[in-house]
């Protein structure tokens, strides 16, 4: 009997201990999960901040309540979309972050004038799904379609159409909720300075609500791949792309392979055809071969022979697609899942430099020298044409330019990031030397002095910011560094 009582007592103690351990594990998981939710970062995972709260926005009332809450609690507001910027543009320490991705309704399509009214949290993919059945396509967007309209406006992206400038050129008007909850309409004729400051303004003026977006017709293109050297590229571009109205989209790549480092190139051109756009081609397609591309990209990150192999395969694959027919909508939805990368010690860093067209060759020569000096692991380089546009206050292409986009695989330690910062400042200086600039969407490694030289209207931008947001309610890490 006594032995039975002892066993029962031990069983009760064990049960209590097990229950305590379960409760402890659940509590620890909850605290960890809560901490993870409050720790805000972006696709690069270099910069981060411990935010106060994240609010999923789906209505105007959600935004107004968040603004009221922020003022009451003396918190800042940051605005986020797909979170693919890499310079702390979508968060700030102890801020309330508005996640706009559920604020994504299509509000109206004027087919006769090719204008779509859409909420700012909608992605370009969602827009393509909506407008494709109507035979319409997007005029201007960056290559991938995973980003939100508001995020793309806030970074004033550019695309691959040589006849189109940055995104601001296709924005007719938008509504903005200011720091006090008012809703302001802005266009080229109404609140003009606000229009110029919000496009490319990184969410610092207010919350973009909905946008009137100018569209274009979906068309059928034929794909051509042309190999060349970097010295041949400017003349080829002038004679065969700028002088050819049939070219609707174009992108070039510079070799990062050691055997042809920044000397070999090829362009992919999409030319208009006389053939009608039939349902066979207009139906939206998903890209194939993602697994193979991801594997090859992984090899290029790790080994020089992987870069050589990747470059050879790229040229073969695009040569294989020579003469392929494709719609504008399908050409403007390339899959980038093959670039997804998760590593504890390393990250992929994007940078973009803009140089006047006539300075392309000497810039590439300087770029090659610096990349070798700094021993940077450059995995991919693309080149796009950006026509002159000075509408946005923070305009990066105040003259006809080539945008050179670098994908760099780099270690994330403090010492390695300091090395990358030093190298980046050299690259920024190189672009400034040739009267160019750099893209603000990526890591904020440029000095304040370099920032102001690249963006001479920065002081006007900050002055307008303080007029519309005198309490500096809208805040992010980028603004904290450069204002």
Report yes or no on 266 lying in a domain.
yes
Q: Which tokens go with 470?
A: 């005198």
Per-residue pLDDT tens digits for 86-119 = 888 999 999 999 999 999 999 999 999 999 999 9
Is the model more confident about 381 or about 84? Answer: 381
Cβ contact 165:393 at 8 Å = no
Report residue 12's pLDDT band, with 50, 70 and 90 as the boundaries: low
Tokens 């109205």 sit on residue: 245
Which two structure tokens, joined as six digits, stand for 108? 């109206």
31 and 142 in one domain?
A: no
> Which pTM value belongs to this model?
0.89
For residue 226, what are the domain limits?
A: 218-339
155/39 Cα distance (integer angstroms) = 23
**Do 208 and 229 belong to one domain?**
no
Structure tokens at 90: 């979508």
Asked if residue 256 and residue 170 are part of one domain, the reply reads: no
Cβ neighbours around 22 below 10 Å, total:
10
**Closest among 21, 91, 15 to 50, alpha carbons compared:** 91
Secondary structure of residue 181 in the 3-state scheme: coil
* Structure confidence by residue, pLDDT tens digits, 331-374: 998 766 656 667 778 999 999 999 999 999 999 999 999 999 99
Residue with tokens 């920024």: 428
**Mean pLDDT of the chain, nearest integer:** 90
Give per-residue pLDDT as tens, 19-40: 554 544 544 444 444 444 588 8
> Locate tokens 């700028």: which residue?
242
Q: How does pLDDT run across 303-333, given as a tens digit for each residue?
A: 899 899 989 888 888 778 889 999 999 999 8
In terms of domains, do 328 and 231 share one? yes
- Sign of the C-alpha dihedral computed for residues 373, 376, 378 and 382 taken in this order: negative
Domain final residue pick, 295, 316, 339? 339
Distance CA 146, CA 361 (A): 32
Do 206 and 131 fall into the same domain?
yes
Q: How far is CA 314 from the centre of its chain?
A: 23
Q: Which of 348, 259, 255, 265 is nearest to 301 (CA)?
A: 348
- Quick one: 181 and 291 in the same domain? no
Verify that 232 and 334 share a domain, yes or no: yes
pLDDT above 90: residue 290? no
DSSP conformation letters of 337-352: GGG----SSEEEEEEE
Q: How many domains does the chain have?
A: 3
For the chain, how many residues are written?
A: 483
Q: How much is the average pLDDT of 132-157?
A: 94
Instruction: With H, G, I as helix, E, B as strand and everything else as coil, classify residue 415.
Output: helix
């Amino acid at each position: 009997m006594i032995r039975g009582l002892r066993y029962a007592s031990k069983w009760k103690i064990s049960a209590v201990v097990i229950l305590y351990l379960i409760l402890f594990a659940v509590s620890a998981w909850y605290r960890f999960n809560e901490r993870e939710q409050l720790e805000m970062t972006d696709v690069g995972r270099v910069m981060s901040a411990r935010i106060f709260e994240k609010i999923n926005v789906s209505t105007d009332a959600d935004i107004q309540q968040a603004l009221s809450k922020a003022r009451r609690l003396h918190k800042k507001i940051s605005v986020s979309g797909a979170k693919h910027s890499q310079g702390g543009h979508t968060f700030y320490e102890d801020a309330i972050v508005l996640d706009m991705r559920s604020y994504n309704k299509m509000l109206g399509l004027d087919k006769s004038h090719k204008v779509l009214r859409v909420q700012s949290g909608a992605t370009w993919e969602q827009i393509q799904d909506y407008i494709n059945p109507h035979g319409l396509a997007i005029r201007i967007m960056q290559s991938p379609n995973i980003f939100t309209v508001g995020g793309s406006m806030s970074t004033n992206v550019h695309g691959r159409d040589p006849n189109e400038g940055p995104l601001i050129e296709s924005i007719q008007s938008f509504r903005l909720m200011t720091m006090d909850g008012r809703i302001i309409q802005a266009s080229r004729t109404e609140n003009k300075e606000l229009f110029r400051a919000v496009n490319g303004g990184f969410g610092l003026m207010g919350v973009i609500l909905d946008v009137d977006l100018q569209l274009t017709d979906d068309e059928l293109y034929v794909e051509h791949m042309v190999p060349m050297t970097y010295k041949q590229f400017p003349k080829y571009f002038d004679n065969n792309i700028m002088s050819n109205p049939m070219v609707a989209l174009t992108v070039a790549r510079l070799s990062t392979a050691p055997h042809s480092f920044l000397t070999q190139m090829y362009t992919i051109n999409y030319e208009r055809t006389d053939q009608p756009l039939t349902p066979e081609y207009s139906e939206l397609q998903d890209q194939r071969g993602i697994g193979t591309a991801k594997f090859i990209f992984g090899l290029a990150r790790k080994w020089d022979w992987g870069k050589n192999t990747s470059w050879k395969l790229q040229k073969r694959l695009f040569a294989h697609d020579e003469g392929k027919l494709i719609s504008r909508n399908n050409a403007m939805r390339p899959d980038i899942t093959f670039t997804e990368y998760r590593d504890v010690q390393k990250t992929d860093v994007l940078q973009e430099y803009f140089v006047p067209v006539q300075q392309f060759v000497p810039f590439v020569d300087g770029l090659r020298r610096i990349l070798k000096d700094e021993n940077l692991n450059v995995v991919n380089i693309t080149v796009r044409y950006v026509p002159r546009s000075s509408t946005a206050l923070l305009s990066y292409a105040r003259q006809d330019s080539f945008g050179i986009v670098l994908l760099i695989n780099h270690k994330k330690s403090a010492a390695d990031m300091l090395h990358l910062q030093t190298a980046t400042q050299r690259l920024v200086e190189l672009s400034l030397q040739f009267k160019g600039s750099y893209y603000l969407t990526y890591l904020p490694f440029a000095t304040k002095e370099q920032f102001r030289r690249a963006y001479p209207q920065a002081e006007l931008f900050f002055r307008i910011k303080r007029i519309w947001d005198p309490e500096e309610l809208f805040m992010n890490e980028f603004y904290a560094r450069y204002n």
